[in-house]
Amino acid sequence: MHSRGLLSIGNDTAVTPAGKEAPKFNVLSGTSMACPHVSGIAATVKSQNPTWSPSAIRSAIMTTATRTNNLKTPITTDSSSIATPYDYGAGEVTVTGPLHPGLVYETDTIDYLSYLCYYGFDTSKLKTIARTAPIGFACPKDSKADYISNIDYPSIAISKFIGKESRKVTNVAGDGEVVFTAIVDTPRGLSVKVIPDKLHFSMNNQKLSYQMVFSSTTSVPKEDMFGSLTWSNGKYKVRSPVVVSV
């Protein structure tokens, strides 16, 4: 995630042009500025939704982030090129969007423990790390690549141009029965199918799953590609960045 902010600076640290008075504020961008802004937003979301997990709050912040600046044009890098998820992650955070995200992705304890399994942690080490690990937990037997890529995380990354991703989302719209429709910004040279392309929720806090299937329509691309998946019902737009790596 990306955030920008105003930082108060003293006159002794300001870079002041000759004949000009030292500025009282400076615009800075980066993790040092993102951290306090995102922390404040997370605290606000938690205060309004006290039962939400850290992963639900993270999802709300990520899926409501924007890719445009205050001029409504695409965010750019320091060199003025169009920025990508490699530069800004899910986008630039908003203040009010995370309070009403519509849907959230929730990464649970088993997801994290299984992730550690694939990086060589045995059962005894996992018990030391996670004292609240579910009783009887055992490392999954499916492949490392398949499991890690299908963790319920609010962004989607795939390699080799052909494959599938599975996700589960929770309805937090508070509107009772609601239908979200998939809108795909398809990376160039790929075909992407969402199954199902509509999610019909009958109640709040209901969880539903979907799958994205990727296939190549051209020769193997020479550079990484970017797109997005947005679930929308007209009122909410729940956007996840999609990255396809060479």
Tell me which residue of 191, 187, 162, 173 sits closest to 64, measured CA to CA: 173
Q: What is the pLDDT of residue 7?
A: 36
Domain membership of residue 119 (yes or no) is yes
Asked whether the predicted pLDDT for residue 13 surpasses 70, the reply is no
Verify that 119 and 67 share a domain, yes or no: no
pLDDT digits (tens, 9 = 90+) for 174-230: 877 999 999 999 988 788 999 999 999 999 999 999 999 988 776 666 788 899 999
Q: What is the pLDDT of residue 4?
A: 45
Longest Cα–Cα distance of the chain, Å, equals 72
pLDDT digits (tens, 9 = 90+) for 142-181: 656 566 677 899 999 887 666 788 899 999 998 779 999 9
Mean pLDDT across 74-98: 91
Domain membership of residue 87 (yes or no) is yes
How many structural domains compose the chain?
Answer: 2
Verify that 84 and 13 share a domain, yes or no: yes
Verify that 26 and 94 share a domain, yes or no: yes
Q: What is the pLDDT of residue 174?
A: 85
Is the Cβ–Cβ distance between 157 and 121 less than 8 Å?
A: no
d(CA 240, CA 64): 9
**Domain that residue 135 falls in:** 108-150
Verify that 85 and 123 share a domain, yes or no: no
Q: How would residue 12 be classed by pLDDT, with cut points 50, 70 and 90?
A: very low
Where in the chain does DSSP place strands (E)?
4-8, 25-29, 103-104, 156-159, 163-171, 178-185, 190-195, 198-201, 207-216, 225-232, 237-245
Pairing of the two strands 237-245 and 225-232: antiparallel
Share of the chain above pLDDT 70, in %: 87
Domain membership of residue 188 (yes or no) is no
d(CA 3, CA 92): 6
